[in-house]
Amino acid sequence: MAKHTVFDPERDDPFILSRTAIDEFLSCQKCFYFKRRLGLKPPRLIPLTLAIATDAILKNEFDEVRQKGGQSHYVWETHDLNVHTFSHPDMEDWRNNFRGIRYLHEPTNQEITGAIDDVWERLDTGQLHIVDYKSTSKKDDPDIESGWGFGYKRQMEVYQWLFRKNGFDIHETGYFLYINGRKDTAFYDEETGGGTVGRMLFRTTLIPYDGDTGWVDDIIYQCKDTLRSNEIPEGSEGCDSCRYFRERSEIE
């Protein structure tokens, strides 16, 4: 039987609960229920194609280091990190949004999944650091204490939980490799050769974060309880989608 991402109480094969679905649950249980139980998809978002491109470039960058033995990179040297790139035959699956790293949570019969960007290995202990690439373009240096930062932290912690459940020795510190597009440089210059070729320069910030995965198991149980229920949960006060439909309904 095919894997399913819309919960059907009549099926007994594992339900796919992605890292994104967990984040949806934490953001708004009502929207989570509409999508994951009733199959009602939210309005499509504009794809972050530039962020996808920068992710691909960074993966290529560190894969080249990995192919050369993974022993040196100026990001590590700048931040005095005693690490190298971690090699594993499943790396490409872990990075694939449709596969990712997986773990069957047997008590709830849910298969938890998540797609990571990279993994670095400590040379002294062999422990692994989960690495997540982020990109933005703003005046100040990026941080994870405002804006989307809370969601990024949860994302990191789900990845750490997944790797630990798969038997890997994961260091509590994960890294956000944040690149910040500069607006104070020329796009076309002599180095690009002119014509249709240009370039955007980025400032790099490496942000360490000590994750706490203690909440993950409890949320997995809560997700399953919500999916089993025939009652639609209350919406979140801070949910933009719920606010829009509520206010639209009042106008109509």
- pLDDT of res. 20: 95
For residue 223, count CB atoms less than 10 angstroms from its CB and return exposed for 0-12, middle for 13-18, buried for 19 or more. buried
Q: How confident is the model at residue 1 (pLDDT cuts 50, 70, 90)?
A: very low
User: What gap in Å lies between CA 212 and CA 26, rounded to an integer?
Assistant: 16
pLDDT, one tens digit per residue, over 92-123 is: 999 999 999 999 999 999 999 999 999 999 99
Domains of the chain by range and CATH? 15-251 (3.90.320)
Highest mean pLDDT, choosing among 135-149, 196-210, 222-236? 222-236
pLDDT, one tens digit per residue, over 17-72 is: 999 999 999 999 999 999 999 999 888 877 778 888 999 999 999 999 999 887 78
- pLDDT of res. 2: 43
- pLDDT of res. 38: 94
Mean pLDDT of the chain: 91
| Collapsed DSSP state (helix, strand, coil) of residue 46 | coil
Of the chain, the percentage scoring pLDDT greater than 70 comes to 96
Between CA 35 and CA 24, with CA 114 as vertex, the angle to 5 degrees is 30
User: What gap in Å lies between CA 204 and CA 179, rounded to an integer?
Assistant: 5
- pLDDT of res. 71: 77
- pLDDT of res. 212: 97
Strand-strand pairing, 173-181 and 128-136? parallel
Span 208-216, mean pLDDT? 97
- pLDDT of res. 199: 82
Span 140-168, mean pLDDT? 94
Residue length of the chain: 252
Highest mean pLDDT, choosing among 138-142, 192-196, 231-235? 231-235
